[in-house]
Structure 1
Amino acid sequence: MRFLCLPGAYGSAKNFGVQLGPFAKHMEDRGLATFAFTQGAHEVDPPAGWENYFGSRPLYRFIDGGRQGQGDDPFEVVRRVRHIPRGLSPEATLRLFSKRPDGQQAADFDWTPFRDALDRLLRVVEDDPEIDGLIGYSEGAMMAACICAEENRRWEEEGIPRRIKFAIFFAGTPPLVREGDGFVAKLADEHGTVIGIPTFHVFGSNDPLVYSSVALYNCCDPDAAQLYDHGLGHLVPRDADNVEQLGDTLSDVITRINNEQQAAATATENAAAAAAAAAASKDDEPAVAVVAVAVANEYITSSSSSSAESTTASGSSAPSSAASSAGSTTAESDLDSRSSHGLESEVVDGIAKIHLK
């Protein structure tokens, strides 16, 4: 599987390669994946006092924050979230941020820069036929979720097959879904599933924005989504224990998806050969060829949906690898009370699994 990797705000392809380095090397060494890196188109300066925090320059964002009226303070949301009452659902918490601190509704966005950013990333995927997975961190995870949601919308409304077969989100945020000339946040408590492919959600129970990761999980297919708590903050885990556990957990899912893609390719070749043989030897029975091609097309166009169903086993039970001390903090978190759906949580070998009721 080849992943397109999207960094967070004030990041770059180069710096994200360093952040993701231990995980990427582990996955490559096991023969599970290869990685391509991209970055935002808007070069930005780090905020005052944080010049060395985000890594070497140049730094980029996918979203032009200045034009969206978001200002130059990347931690304004973190400061606001610390004052939110505990016990609110992830969706309710996110809705609070659709308003300004004075309680008034935020002004309408100019969606042009966001639309341009999403369309540019969709072209990156289209231009590399080997890309079939996404990895995003923070702002990059939100953009990756938007790609998945847009592909899901095209599949459901236009019948266009999805390119992306699997997505991994580090500290993610629910996607904005294209609607008319703008975009709408379609949260799970109102709209249900908006991402229908297998997904893997990596978060830290000490992340002040953890509610956002859970809200993203809630709007993905519950039968094909998994959660992993590394017990840390708003970061990509790089320690050996978490990296190895992530590799063990993802091995089954990626292997299954790779096998399905190979099976689809084999089925296509066999159907094409059968159609050609039937057409050559039985000119008086053209229906045989038509049926063979129809079966192959049906298999291909349904492969995205079937991959979600076939990963249910790995998505509904935790892996058997040894738990890290960081991951074991999940039992002490209160994520099971945060979803408006209601959540059932369990910790098996230190790996968090949170299920929609």
Structure 2
Amino acid sequence: MKFLCFHGATTNSEHFKKVIYHLRRNLELDGTATFYFLEALFEAEPTPDIEYECPAPNLRWFDYDHLDLSKGVKHFAEMATFNGMTSPEDGVRRAWGRYGKGVGSSAELMLDYVRNIIEDEGPFHGVIGASEGGSAAATVLFDQLGLARKHGQPCPIQCGIFFVSTPPMTEDGEGCLLCDDDDRRITIPTCHIYSEKDLLCWMAKALQNVCQEDGKTIILHEGGHTIPHTEKLMADVAEFVRRVKQGSTQETPLIVHNAAQG
């Protein structure tokens, strides 16, 4: 299987390679998977509280007019966490109303860029995204599933893996695709890795809610808005990939990692 990989906001592909090292090693050793790492298009200010020190370039998938992460993810999470949220989708709408202006054209540019990569370097059999990169990956996934349906062909992409990710954009980049106002779903197996302690976990849940139940795996950890890179957790993600490759993903497991497990 060949995976198309989308790094998180204000980082880059080399950073993401390090973060998912144990996943890559697990799947590459026996030839289960290979990985193609994309570089986002838009420059950004460094974020001071990302998991590892991340040398330049600092890049983003979407170019927001009113969203500055230079004060840190924790600062943004505190600003974007709303009292009285009735659902994850309600939280996303409120955040979009505050921060989502000016995204449209950059979302279209991102899609065109990735479509060209898929045409030149594909086929790809899975996507992996982190945080904002998860939103980009899910947006691309909806796009590719739609193109496959339009042409009456199966979509080569068989699964999606989302680390502490945010929901997909609509095609025009003017909003997020949410389960309570759009009946479209990601209709392939997905794996969602996040923490209930993440101040932005409602974003991950909104993404989770637009994915079909069959074949969905949820892996919870005890960190915040981070990607755990322990061998044990990444082995569980690798097991999801192997189930997809073997076609045995009908179960919907919940896997919980505590601090002792890693």
Q: Same fold per TM (> 0.5)?
A: yes
Q: Does 1:190 align with 2:188?
A: no
Q: Which residue of 2 aligns with 1:89?
A: 87
Q: Provide structure 1 residue ranges, at least 5 long, that are not aligned to the other structure.
A: 101-105, 257-309, 330-357
Task: State whether residues 62 and 140 of structure 1, in contact with CA within 8 Å, keep that contact through their aligned partners in structure 2.
Answer: yes
**Please, which of 124, 129, 153 is the counterpart of residue 146 of structure 2?**
153
More helix by share: 1
Q: Secondary structure at the match of 2:180?
A: helix
Identity of aligned residues (%): 26
Task: State whether residues 204 and 234 of structure 1, in contact with CA within 8 Å, keep that contact through their aligned partners in structure 2.
Answer: yes
Is the alpha carbon distance of 1:129 and 1:186 closer, same or farther for their aligned partners in structure 2, counting shifts above 3 Å? closer
Task: State whether residues 11 and 54 of structure 2, in contact with CA within 8 Å, keep that contact through their aligned partners in structure 1.
Answer: yes
Q: Secondary structure at the match of 2:225?
A: coil
Q: Which residue of 1 aligns with 2:121?
A: 128
**Which amino acid is 1:15 matched to?**
H
Task: State whether residues 127 and 137 of structure 2, in contact with CA within 8 Å, keep that contact through their aligned partners in structure 1.
Answer: yes
Partner Cα separation in structure 2 for residue 240 and residue 110 of structure 1: 36
Q: Which residue of 1 aligns with 2:58?
A: 59
Is the alpha carbon distance of 1:164 and 1:83 closer, same or farther for their aligned partners in structure 2, counting shifts above 3 Å? same
How many angstroms does 1:9 deviate by?
Answer: 0.7
Task: State whether residues 32 and 255 of structure 1, in contact with CA within 8 Å, keep that contact through their aligned partners in structure 2.
Answer: no
Partner Cα separation in structure 2 for residue 143 and residue 224 of structure 1: 21
How many angstroms does 1:129 deviate by?
Answer: 2.5
Q: Secondary structure at the match of 1:35?
A: strand
Q: Does 1:325 align with 2:222?
A: no
Is the alpha carbon distance of 1:191 and 1:26 closer, same or farther for their aligned partners in structure 2, counting shifts above 3 Å? same
Partner Cα separation in structure 2 for residue 144 and residue 189 of structure 1: 21
The CA RMSD over aligned residues, in Å, is 2.8
Q: Secondary structure at the match of 2:170?
A: strand
**Which amino acid is 1:99 matched to?**
G
**Which amino acid is 2:249 matched to?**
T
Task: State whether residues 125 and 158 of structure 2, in contact with CA within 8 Å, keep that contact through their aligned partners in structure 1.
Answer: yes
Task: State whether residues 189 and 215 of structure 2, in contact with CA within 8 Å, keep that contact through their aligned partners in structure 1.
Answer: yes
Partner Cα separation in structure 2 for residue 8 and residue 78 of structure 1: 15
Q: Does 1:207 align with 2:198?
A: yes
TM-score scaled by length of structure 2:
0.86
**Which amino acid is 2:146 matched to?**
R
Q: Provide structure 2 residue ranges, at least 5 long, that are not aligned to the other structure.
A: none
Mapping of residues 1-357 of structure 1, within 5 Å: 1-47=1-47, 54-65=53-64, 68-73=65-70, 75=73, 76-85=75-84, 88-100=86-98, 109=102, 111-159=104-152, 161-178=154-171, 183-256=174-247, 311-312=249-250, 314=251, 316-317=252-253, 324-326=257-259
**Deviation string, structure 1 residues 283-303 (Cα, Å, up to 9, x no partner):** xxxxxxxxxxxxxxxxxxxxx
Task: State whether residues 166 and 206 of structure 2, in contact with CA within 8 Å, keep that contact through their aligned partners in structure 1.
Answer: yes
Partner Cα separation in structure 2 for residue 201 and residue 12 of structure 1: 21
Of the two structures, which has the highest relative contact order with CA contacts closer than 8 Å and spacing of 6 or more?
Answer: 2
Q: Secondary structure at the match of 1:176?
A: coil
Task: State whether residues 9 and 132 of structure 2, in contact with CA within 8 Å, keep that contact through their aligned partners in structure 1.
Answer: yes
Partner Cα separation in structure 2 for residue 108 and residue 97 of structure 1: 10
Number of residues of Structure 1 aligned to a counterpart in Structure 2: 260
Task: State whether residues 231 and 328 of structure 1, in contact with CA within 8 Å, keep that contact through their aligned partners in structure 2.
Answer: no
Task: State whether residues 2 and 133 of structure 1, in contact with CA within 8 Å, keep that contact through their aligned partners in structure 2.
Answer: yes
**Which amino acid is 1:115 matched to?**
E
Partner Cα separation in structure 1 for residue 150 and residue 117 of structure 2: 22
Is the alpha carbon distance of 1:159 and 1:10 closer, same or farther for their aligned partners in structure 2, counting shifts above 3 Å? same
Is the alpha carbon distance of 1:72 and 1:247 closer, same or farther for their aligned partners in structure 2, counting shifts above 3 Å? closer
Is the alpha carbon distance of 1:147 and 1:99 closer, same or farther for their aligned partners in structure 2, counting shifts above 3 Å? same
Task: State whether residues 229 and 327 of structure 1, in contact with CA within 8 Å, keep that contact through their aligned partners in structure 2.
Answer: no
**Deviation string, structure 1 residues 294-316 (Cα, Å, up to 9, x no partner):** xxxxxxxxxxxxxxxx632x3x3
How many angstroms does 1:167 deviate by?
Answer: 1.0
Q: Which has the larger radius of gyration?
A: 1
How many angstroms does 1:161 deviate by?
Answer: 3.9
Task: State whether residues 163 and 193 of structure 2, in contact with CA within 8 Å, keep that contact through their aligned partners in structure 1.
Answer: yes
How many angstroms does 1:36 deviate by?
Answer: 1.3
How many angstroms does 1:51 deviate by?
Answer: 9.6
